[in-house]
Amino acid sequence: MATTKPLAKRDDRVVARAYETASQTGVLLAVLLGVLAGAGIGLYFQNLGLGLSVAVGSSWLIASIGSASSAVERWSPLRVFLPVLFTYTSAGISLSGSDTATLEWWALVLALMGFGLGYSIAFSGAKQRAIAETPLPPSEPRVKMIFLLFAIATAVYALMWLQAGGPPALADDVNTARTQFFTSGVASTLVSIGYQVGLIVPVGLMLLREEIPHRRGLMWVAALSLLALLSLGNRGVIVGPAVILLIIALWNRALPIVLGMLLASAGLIIFSYAGFERNLTAWGSSYLNDLALAGYSDADRIFAPVLSYVSGTSWTFSQTIHLIPAQVPFQMGQQFFGPILFSPSADLFLKEALGLDFVGFGLALGFVNAFYLDWGLIGCFVGPFVFGIFIAMIYRLARFSSPAWVILIAYVLSKLLLSVYGHPFAYLAYIIAPLLIYFAAGGTLRELTPRRSSTPIGLATA
């Protein structure tokens, strides 16, 4: 009997060491897979720069997530956002072959350094403890609020439907119909926010294994909200909620990481294929001729919409560098803070400044360009630095607070990830929507201050 405890302790250490070795081996294999994937993509599209970007970025992302000490730490915005920003932006520079590539690279490096430094400074006060198997505190969703926002969105949507004669997704020319469906930005905001709340909050709380009152009714709201968003013919309004719910599922380990990455990859392919079909419906054979002239074969032309986003973001940045400050002065915050100044978004400003006229919304601006447009290279460092501080503060609260904060950080992280081709602060809805989602999920004003705790809220250690 005297040897039982020492043997048990030794067995525990052996198991822990074996688990650590297996985890490290898995990470190394995953990194190798990322390198091979980058090499394959580079060879397939005959672009060495693209292959290197994917290889370095995917390996960085996998190693960063795999080296985390816990399940929740894996989804730190610092671990996820920086490799995604690097991969997307560097791949765009490689694909576009712009004459401003050197300046774009410097801007990217400054943005990576700025965000990383700001985030690290803001997060340095939080001790990096292992996350124990402590259940999340219960959240009581505000059911009446969810139903009210859903009802308002449905009423406005019905009016737009009557005026347009049907939803954009069923129109002959989806590209034109989706831009003309809403008569004002207010109507668009009411519909998109109401349906996002109706979809994200019930499904998010379910993924966090919360007890939800009026579960059946809220599931119906979620299903109808999804259908309504799909009918708008705009892939962007679906991508956002999909990324948010994927982050929540991975955060709570309701979904294995490998499966999550496969779903993300499949979603990217579906996103691109949907864009291909939409453009083919709108422009017919002329679109296929344009793709052929651009070098796309019959096999890879379904990837054209995604690749055009990637290369188009670099092209937009290049045009911005030529335009500003040589012809137009730096905007000094007029475009970045356009939503609170009630002016058109920065991408529409650039579209007009460059004299472009095409069906659809604005340009693929990109996270780095959003700061260059207003403040130049200095802004490419200072802007991400401030964003890093802000994002780190929200993440710290999400680790120590209720599921409402987990849903909120998932929203913020999704917008951050999608800003690699969009804009980190494109619309006023970027402020309104997360607040409504937070309170609808059961968040309170009191929780806006992190509660003191020796152990972060989360799930089992990695």
Q: How far is CA 5 from the centre of its chain?
A: 49
Please give the pLDDT value at position 134. Answer: 46
The answer, as to whether pTM is greater than 0.85, is no
369, part of any domain = no
**10-residue block means of pLDDT along the chain (462 residues)?**
49 47 60 77 81 88 79 82 94 90 96 95 59 52 94 95 88 78 85 95 89 89 96 86 90 70 80 79 78 74 84 92 92 86 80 76 84 95 94 79 84 92 82 92 71 42 34
Residue 337 and residue 288 in one domain: yes
Residue 56 and residue 158 in one domain: no
Residue 181 and residue 233 in one domain: yes
Residue 88 and residue 151 in one domain: no
As a whole number of angstroms, the distance between CA 462 and CA 446 comes to: 31
Please give the pLDDT value at position 113. Answer: 97
Please give the pLDDT value at position 449. Answer: 56
Name the amino acid, one letter, at 281.
Answer: T
201, part of any domain = yes
Please give the pLDDT value at position 164. Answer: 87
Residues 6+ apart with CB under 8 A from 98: 104, 314, 315, 317, 318
Residue 100 and residue 154 in one domain: no
As a whole number of angstroms, the distance between CA 154 and CA 1 comes to: 70
Residue 158 and residue 297 in one domain: yes
As a whole number of angstroms, the distance between CA 106 and CA 101 comes to: 9
370, part of any domain = no
Contacts of 131-134 spanning 24+ positions with Cβ under 8 A: 131/69, 131/70, 131/71, 131/72, 131/73, 131/399, 131/455, 131/456, 131/458, 131/459, 131/460, 131/461, 132/455, 132/458, 132/461, 133/459, 133/460, 133/461, 134/455, 134/457, 134/458
Please give the pLDDT value at position 190. Answer: 92
Cis previous bond, 325, omega within 30: yes
As a whole number of angstroms, the distance between CA 52 and CA 203 comes to: 37
Residue 149 and residue 276 in one domain: yes
DSSP string, 74-100: GG-HHHHHHHHHHHHHHHHHHHH--TT
Domain boundary among 90, 105, 120: 105
379, part of any domain = no
Please give the pLDDT value at position 27. Answer: 64
Residue 279 and residue 413 in one domain: yes
Please give the pLDDT value at position 85. Answer: 95
Q: Are 121 and 389 in contact (CB under 8 A)?
A: yes
Residue 82 and residue 162 in one domain: no
Domain boundary among 87, 105, 123: 105
324, part of any domain = yes
Q: Quote the number of domains for the chain.
A: 2
384, part of any domain = no
Smallest CA-to-CA distance from 241 within 33, 457, 418, 25 is with 418
Residue 99 and residue 147 in one domain: no
385, part of any domain = no
Please give the pLDDT value at position 130. Answer: 36
Residue 170 and residue 291 in one domain: yes
Please give the pLDDT value at position 414. Answer: 92
Domain boundary among 105, 126, 160: 105
Please give the pLDDT value at position 358. Answer: 67
133, part of any domain = no
Please give the pLDDT value at position 158. Answer: 95
Judge residue 127's burial from the number of C-beta atoms within 10 Å of its C-beta, 0-12 exposed, 13-18 middle, 19 or more buried. exposed
> 71 is in which domain, residue-wise?
4-105
